[in-house]
């Protein structure tokens, strides 16, 4: 049988749907774009009737098999778009999530009319938060990204080169320990999943790094330490902005209140979930 771009995507999407993908058509399209070396999904539609060679079909089939076994598309293609920028990813880092774009927006609002601030992204992973903030603010501030994982820092360095953000410095260490000066902003999407969380998807557990996910028994253990350290390292009037898990915003707000933060706010994401908690250092 001769496959065309259109018929192959349709068949692959059917297979992925049967295998439980929640976004089978999108997955099938992204993988074919990657496999054929195209720039975007639009090119699939402008080449819909193009016949594919046996080699092209075979290369694509191997990717679909990986996806059908649950491997996330971003790890297969090695890329993920975040805030309109393309980030390299591999299994050493969490795949940037759309809800984290919301955390970036909140911090961007704080930074946008200011200059010369020091911003630290704790648990930087792929560097998606700090590098996006650097791109959005035209390098008007000084940025640091910290991670405890060497593998994550290799990827964040790669992304810094790719995006050309010379003002971002990546440091290895536990939370804010590599910082021995006071800062204006601490932003973090920390590990906040409880090790006992029964709702965590199998796909996430199997493929994404455990160190990026789990915040101890309660899920809040990393956040508790980070709030305490931020309280020490932030200047007066400085901002702490945290992404939190479902149902954690009240506890985290109380933690900020009892650790010397004021003007505590929570922000809902597009699904109505309280996803970001911020506080200003008294």
Ligand X SMILES: C[S@@+](CC[C@H](N)C(=O)[O-])C[C@H]1O[C@@H](n2cnc3c(N)ncnc32)[C@H](O)[C@@H]1O
Of 5 and 146, CB closest to ligand X? 146
CB of 122 to ligand X, least distance (A): 6
By C-beta, is 6 or 209 nearer to ligand X?
209
* CB of 201 or CB of 263, closer to ligand X: 201
72 Cα distance to chain centroid: 14
CA gap 257, 242 in Å, rounded: 14
For residue 51, say whether it is annotated as part of any ligand binding site: no
Q: Which two tokens stand for residue 88?
A: 């390299």
Q: How many CB atoms lie within 10 A of CB 55?
A: 8
125 is in an annotated binding site: yes
- DSSP assignment, residue 179? -
Compute CA distances 278 → 6, 118, 174, 233, 261, whole Å: 47, 17, 21, 16, 9
On whether 123 is known to bind a ligand per the annotation, the reply is yes
Interatomic CA distance for residues 127 and 261, integer angstroms? 26
Residue with smaller CB distance to ligand X, 35 or 230: 230
**Per-position DSSP letters for 31-79, written without gaps between them:** HHHHHHT-S-THHHHHTTT-B--HHHHHHHHHHHHHHHTT--HHHHHTE
What's the closest the beta carbon of residue 126 comes to ligand X, in angstroms? 6
- Residue 72 CB, shortest distance to ligand X, in Å, is 13
The answer to whether the annotation marks 189 as part of a ligand binding site is: yes
126 labelled binding-site residue: yes
Q: Which is nearer to ligand X, 174 or 282 (CB)?
A: 174
Is 198 annotated as contributing to ligand binding? no
Residues that bind ligand X (CB under 6 A): 93-94, 96, 100, 122-126, 128-129, 146-149, 152, 174-175, 189-191, 211-212, 222
Give me the least distance between CB of 178 and ligand X, in Å please.
Answer: 9
Annotated binding site for substrate: 189-192
Annotated binding site for S-adenosyl-L-methionine: 123-127, 147, 189
């Amino acid at each position: 049988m001769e496959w065309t771009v259109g018929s192959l995507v349709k068949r692959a999407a059917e297979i992925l749907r049967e295998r439980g993908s929640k976004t089978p058509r999108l997955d099938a399209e992204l993988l074919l774009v990657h496999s054929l070396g195209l720039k975007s999904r639009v090119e699939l539609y402008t080449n819909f009737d193009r016949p594919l060679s046996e080699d092209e079909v075979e290369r694509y089939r191997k990717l679909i098999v990986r996806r059908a076994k649950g491997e996330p598309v971003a790890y297969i293609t090695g890329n993920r778009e975040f805030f309109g920028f393309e980030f390299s990813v591999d299994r050493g880092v969490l795949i940037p999530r759309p809800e984290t774009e919301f955390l970036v927006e909140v911090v961007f609002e704080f930074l946008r009319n200011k200059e010369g601030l020091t911003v630290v992204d704790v648990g930087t992973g792929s560097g998606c938060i700090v590098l996006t903030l650097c791109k959005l603010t035209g390098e008007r501030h000084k940025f640091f990204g910290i991670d405890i994982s060497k593998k994550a820092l290799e990827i964040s360095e790669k992304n810094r080169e790719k995006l050309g953000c010379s003002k971002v410095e990546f440091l290895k260490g536990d939370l804010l320990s590599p910082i021995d000066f006071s800062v204006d902003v601490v932003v973090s999407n920390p590990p906040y999943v409880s090790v006992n969380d029964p709702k965590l998807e199998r796909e996430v557990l199997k493929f994404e790094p455990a160190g990026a996910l789990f915040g101890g028994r309660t899920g809040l253990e990393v956040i508790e330490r980070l709030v305490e350290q931020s309280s020490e390292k932030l200047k007066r009037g400085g901002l702490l902005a945290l992404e939190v898990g479902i149902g954690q915003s009240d506890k985290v707000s109380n933690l900020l209140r009892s650790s010397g933060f004021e003007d505590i706010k929570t922000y809902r994401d597009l699904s109505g979930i309280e996803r970001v908690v911020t506080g200003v250092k008294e």
